[in-house]
A and B are shown apart, each in its own frame.
Chain A
Amino acid sequence: MTKKKKMKPNIKREWCKGCGICVEFCPEDALIMDEMEKAVLAYPDKCTGCMLCELRCPDLAIELV
């Protein structure tokens, strides 16, 4: 039986306005802001696919895939 692949956030950089909400409220601290003030998934191993970043993103820039 194959293990179901965990969903990870895919961040659309062109839509991200860098408010930092996803980074601050990620329960696992998996996201960081890069030097361009855009959110990036820096630690994919920490991500549990809880979806909170997607739901709280005001720019609709995050989608779990």
Chain B
Amino acid sequence: MAVKDYIREKFFPHIWCPGCGHGIIMGGLIRAIETLQKEKNDIVIVSGIGCSSRICGYLDFHTLHTIHGRALAFATGVKLSRPELTVIAPMGDGDAFAIGGNHLIHAARRNIDITAIIMNNNIYGMTGGQYSPSTGYGEFATTAPYSNIDHPFDFVNLAIGAGASFVARTTTYHVTSMIKIIEKAIMHHGFSVVEIMSQCPTYFGRKNKFASAVEMLKYYRDHTTPIGSKDKKNNPDLIERGIFIEKEMPEYCDEYDKIIKMASKGE
């Protein structure tokens, strides 16, 4: 099937700004699903609120556009009641790690088979460019006109610390590896977190002296490096990308099934 078979064409052109990275992530997600040859009816996309979460409206799967930060709570409900479905939760950085931070760490701790795709654009774009938990120290936002004094979360380490069994980071520039990482994350039996650095030229870019989406992609190209590369040793400021953790752990729905079987025996 072609990409157009996975989208709701009547809603296009989409609402995202020119050059917004979220469209690239949506394309990557579609191509990953296409490669895996999943049935459209077997896929559930659950999103919260924000620019990123508009993705739900455009994808032609079972989609749930839920409340801010609670995408994973709804996704957990869907997965527990229908474990045979593939549940994917695309979320923004604020959705995943600010208002929905607790849902994320507990979903990770339980290792429930959901793929969380964090579309990290370092800002709250929809509401006008407020700083988010991933806006860096010294960076600018509408609510940080004299520069941000908060330190950002390291999403990868936070997810690893919370116990996620698959953790990866990539960018919208590295689109071919992004597709492969999303494929692996979907195939992984357990909770997977994929942080995708995504450009917001309208708010983050404009406030932080990036002239265009192209400049932001060049930044991703020049300031990231594969995990464990030589460049990282020479320049510790580079951001590592790739798969950080991929391990087998008991999955939540499987464990829950065991409990149901045990309890159904009576006694």
Contacts and interface: CB of A to CB of B under 8 A. Distances in A.
Nearest to B27: A60
B7 to A, nearest CB: 7
Given A60-B7, A60-B12, A21 B175 contact: no
Q: How large is the interface on A (under 10, 10 to 19, 20 to 34, 35 or more residues)?
A: 10 to 19
A7 interface: no
Contacts, number: 68
A29 interface: no
B18 interface: yes
Interface string A25-65: 10000000000000000000000000010111111110100
Contacts of B28: 55
Q: Main SS of chain A's interface residues?
A: loop
B63 interface: no
Nearest to B221: A25
Q: How large is the interface on B (under 10, 10 to 19, 20 to 34, 35 or more residues)?
A: 20 to 34
A57 B27 contact: yes
- Which of A17, A20, A25, A61 has the most chain B CB atoms inside 10 A of its CB? A17
Contact of A25 (B12, B22, B217): B217
Nearest to B25: A58
Contacts of B213: 19-21, 58
Contacts of A14: 13
Contacts of B175: 52, 55-56
B24 interface: yes
Interface string B7-39: 100001110111111111011100100000000
B21 A59 contact: no
A60 B23 CA distance: 7
Contacts of A18: 18
A57 B44 CA distance: 24
Contacts of B19: 17, 19-21, 58
Return the 5 tightest CB-CB contacts between A and B, nearest first.
A58-B23, A19-B19, A17-B18, A19-B18, A55-B175
Given A20-B213, A58-B21, A61-B13, 9 more contacts: A14-B13, A17-B18, A19-B201, A19-B214, A55-B31, A58-B20, A59-B18, A60-B14, A63-B4
